[in-house]
Amino acid sequence: MLQRGPQPEFWRAFVDNERETYNISYNADSWRRAAKDLVVESVDLEPGGKVTFNMRMKDIVYKVRYTMFSSGEIEVDATYDLPQIVEDQSKREKKNGALGKWLYPLRVGMEWMVSPELDHVEWYGRGPTETQADRKFEPVGRFASTVDEEWVEYNRPQENGNKTDVRWFAMKDGNGNGLLFSAIEDNLGVGARFYSRETMEESDYSFQMKRDSGIHVNIDHMQAGVGGINSWGRPPLPAYLLKESQYHYRYRVQPLNGNVEASLKQRVKP
């Protein structure tokens, strides 16, 4: 079911508004590369099936603990420390009186890659159409779709199909079996597509994108807003920028055998 385990993610394919606002930012490439440039400094093994990875990339410290249960469930507990980056950016804003050409991260989360047959999706969160941190116009409810149906066609490939305030997100095959991602504390942001962030950024049109053999699944703690409150070009309001020096979130991943409610009730207590 899993083609690749989770890797931290700090970036997204620019939406149209961000191409105008951020395209000349000095540190965009650093955020793009952050997950690939992280180095594992240590691995800690603890009783109870707990494994903690401690990683660093320049001023980013990333710590993730996986707790594995005999039921097949995995609890993910991730902490992102960005103190120096946030402090430097805050100083630039105070000096220049504007966001400037240095960016905060556009997302704080993880990307998984799952098998292509898990292309039937169901979620409890905002929907049925896409939402963003500063575009939460949809009601909270239970919705079902497919990965391809959730792709939103814009004038050029970009971040799309995102779901906010997600309590749980199921990915199923034709028989209803698959994986269930569920929030433990804060609600999640979720997106799933057959295309990598890199191919979306490199392609001018959707037909140019390379379709992958697996599904890219973003399980986010937060994403920045998309801005554009003046209809074009304006960055997100300060409340929708990722300006904290530390982020932390937890969620579960577990096998799904057709019945979401039964799976949630059977979730092992910590």
Region 193-209: mean pLDDT is: 95
Residues 6+ apart with CB under 8 A from 233: 17, 20, 21
Is 70 exceeded by the pLDDT of residue 6?
A: yes
pLDDT band with cut points at 50, 70 and 90 for residue 229: confident
Mean per-residue pLDDT, 121-125:
98
Helices (H), ranges, the chain? 16-22, 28-37, 83-96, 197-202, 260-265
Q: Which amino acid is at 88?
A: D
User: At residue 245, does pLDDT exceed 70?
Assistant: yes
pLDDT at 49 over 70: yes
Average the pLDDT over 207-234 and give the result: 90
Compute the distance between CA of residue 209 and CA of residue 212 in angstroms, rounded to an integer.
Answer: 9
* Res 168: pLDDT: 98
pLDDT-derived band at 253 (thresholds 50, 70, 90) equals very high
Domain boundaries, the chain: 2-265
What's the rounded Cα separation, in Å, for the pair 77 and 64? 6
Residues 111/112/113/114 CA torsion (nearest 10 deg): -140
Q: What is the pLDDT of residue 94?
A: 64
Number of H helices, E strands in the chain: 5, 14
At residue 238, the pLDDT reads: 86
Residue 89: its pLDDT value, please? 65
pLDDT per position as a tens digit, 142-159: 999 999 999 999 999 999
For 64-81, the pLDDT digits (tens) are 999 999 999 999 999 999
Is domain 2-265 classified as CATH 2.70.98.10?
Answer: yes
Residue 62 is predicted with a pLDDT of 95
Question: What is the pLDDT, as a whole number, of residue 37?
Answer: 85
Model confidence band, residue 207 (pLDDT cutoffs 50, 70, 90): very high
Higher pLDDT, 197 or 27: 197
Give yes or no for residue 84 having a pLDDT over 80: no
Predicted confidence (pLDDT) per residue in 85-99, tens digit? 666 666 666 665 555
Question: CB-based contacts of 240: which residues, under 8 Å, 6+ apart?
Answer: 133, 134, 224, 225, 227
- pTM given for the model: 0.92
pLDDT at 16 over 60: yes
Q: Which residue has the higher pLDDT, 155 or 18?
A: 155
**C-alpha–C-alpha distance, residues 167 and 267, integer Å:** 14
pLDDT of residue 219: 98
Task: Report the chain's mean pLDDT, rounded to a whole number.
Answer: 89
List Cβ neighbours of 217 (8 Å cut-off, separation of 6 or more): 111, 112, 113, 114, 171, 181, 190, 191, 192
pLDDT value for 1: 87
